[in-house]
Structure 1
Amino acid sequence: MQVQGAVGAWLLRVLAALGALRAAAASPAISEARPNGANRPGRFLSLPVPQKCSQRPKEFNFRGHNYFFSGHQAQYRNSRLDWLDARNICREYCMDLISMESQEENNLIFRLIQNEDVPYIWTSGRLCDFKGCENRRDLEPKSVFGWFWSATRGKMAPTNQTPRGFGYNPWSQTGHKRQRQPDNAEFDINGTNESCLAVLNNVYNDGIAWHDVACYHEKPFVCEDSEELLNYVASTNPGIRL
């Protein structure tokens, strides 16, 4: 199921819906503000780079998709990027940020985080709170029904329900406001919406779990093959090996 008006398809360089942001210092998860340049209007989604797609890192494979963790790649080992910059790195490789659409895939990423002691990572999860999402009764309330995987444009299960095929609800039971996620906690601090989905590693003594986070925060990331981008590059570059 697609979310109408979500971040656009690969042919369109869609404007990122990241509003003016101010630095915050309130908790471990809300204290990663970029000192300068947090507000960078006019940013777009990147198109794939055929040579990078052909040579993309294939660190591990799950159900026919290749993945890589930024912390395991020399050029990104020390990189912490905001949500859009991380997504664009992935897209240049014909990949996108990870979408955990099954419990098996979710467990795969949770194990990576646990084994590598990673504090947090970005996913492709996004709240449909930008232009095109207005007056959508099917998305209200947004905190429950408004989340989707931007990489596939697949709508997520309501946040107060266990996703189909999961044995539990992966959203954390707590956070900065000591209430279950998503809680949009940063809005109360500096007016910034928590519109992106990150996996945090026990930041709130809650184990490894999903949290809504303001998109300007900087984190490592996991990239996953994008069928859409791979098919596009294959069709426009005859003979390329992907």
Structure 2
Amino acid sequence: MKVTLAIATFCVVLACSHAARTTTTTATKPGRFLSLPVPAKCASRPKEFSYRGKNMFLTTHVPALANKKVDWLDGRNLCREYCMDLVALETQEKNNLIFRVIQQNDVPYIWTAGRICDFAGCENRPDLEPKTVYGWFWSATREKIQATNRIPQGWGYNPWSQTGHKKRPQPDNAEYDINQTKEQCLSVLNNVYNDGIAWHDVACYHEKPVICEDNEELLRYVAATNPGIRL
């Protein structure tokens, strides 16, 4: 089931600087914007593995990025410079692939493109309430994530962890009770809570490695504005 989330393009595609901003002083960065693709990087982007024609790479496997950890928005920008974006886990088959990559490479955690729609453009939307259940979406594709409290249609299991800091099913916005920072972004954690590899909501300022995947919109844009480029 594919449902596109109709929200302000300004927030999701071009800016959304406040969307990754946290409420704590130490974690807050100045307003930031999504990066434009860099044609040379797009043409030479790492193509470590693929899913249904979309190339992907894990940053820890790229020498120049091997020791780099980034917050959620910087993760998007890192990927976007390569005509890619953070990986979106729309299907069980794709999710299983990413889980295998994490397991086989003993990766402790990664960012995904998942985010909760709690910014400008998400107000007065009954279809997104309660947001912890119905308000999540893949920022790279603007596709809604199915309800968090049940097995998604077409899946055989619920990818959200059944435990976390509060020992409650995810998402639980646990960090808000600690320092009033919302857990607005979706990370895959590797057995952090003795729960195997599973989805967790996490505050966006935490720094993690990422998996990037081809973004068709950015690839088309670079191809159209750079005649003859080989992507």
Q: TM-score per shorter chain, which class?
A: over 0.9
- Pair 1:183–1:10, CA change in 2 (3 A): closer
Deviations 1:104-134 (A, max 9, x none): 1101110111111111000000000111111
1:229 corresponds to:
218
* Structure 2 counterparts to residues 7-86 of structure 1, below 5 A: 8=10, 12-22=14-24, 38-86=27-75
Q: 1:215 aligns with which of 177, 184, 204?
A: 204
Mapped to 2, the partners of 1:98 and 1:176 lie a distance apart of 25
Note the C-alpha offset of 1:14: 3.8
Structure 1 segments (4+ residues) deviating >2 Å: 4-16, 18-23
Deviations 1:139-188 (A, max 9, x none): 00000000000000000100012122211000000000000000000011
* Higher alpha-carbon deviation: 230-239 or 220-229: 230-239
Q: 2:123 aligns with which of 130, 134, 155?
A: 134
Verify the 8 A CA contact 1:172 1:181 in the aligned structure 2.
yes
Q: Give the fraction of aligned pairs with identical amino acids, expressed as a percent.
A: 66
Mapped to 2, the partners of 1:164 and 1:8 lie a distance apart of 30
Mapped to 1, the partners of 2:37 and 2:16 lie a distance apart of 14
Deviations 1:32-68 (A, max 9, x none): xxxx5x2112100001111110110000111100000
- Pair 1:125–1:227, CA change in 2 (3 A): same
Q: TM-score, normalised by structure 1?
A: 0.90
Q: 1:149 aligns with which of 126, 132, 138?
A: 138
Mapped to 1, the partners of 2:91 and 2:223 lie a distance apart of 27
Unaligned runs of 5+ in 2: none
Q: TM-score, normalised by structure 2?
A: 0.95
- Pair 1:70–1:203, CA change in 2 (3 A): same
Mapped to 2, the partners of 1:193 and 1:9 lie a distance apart of 18
Q: Does 1:166 align with 2:155?
A: yes
Mapped to 2, the partners of 1:6 and 1:164 lie a distance apart of 27
Mapped to 2, the partners of 1:14 and 1:21 lie a distance apart of 15
1:101 corresponds to:
90
Note the C-alpha offset of 1:5: 2.3
2:109 partner amino acid? Y
1:5 corresponds to:
7
Mapped to 2, the partners of 1:140 and 1:239 lie a distance apart of 47
Mapped to 1, the partners of 2:32 and 2:156 lie a distance apart of 38
Mapped to 2, the partners of 1:6 and 1:82 lie a distance apart of 23
Note the C-alpha offset of 1:237: 1.1
- Pair 1:10–1:213, CA change in 2 (3 A): closer
Mapped to 1, the partners of 2:165 and 2:131 lie a distance apart of 19
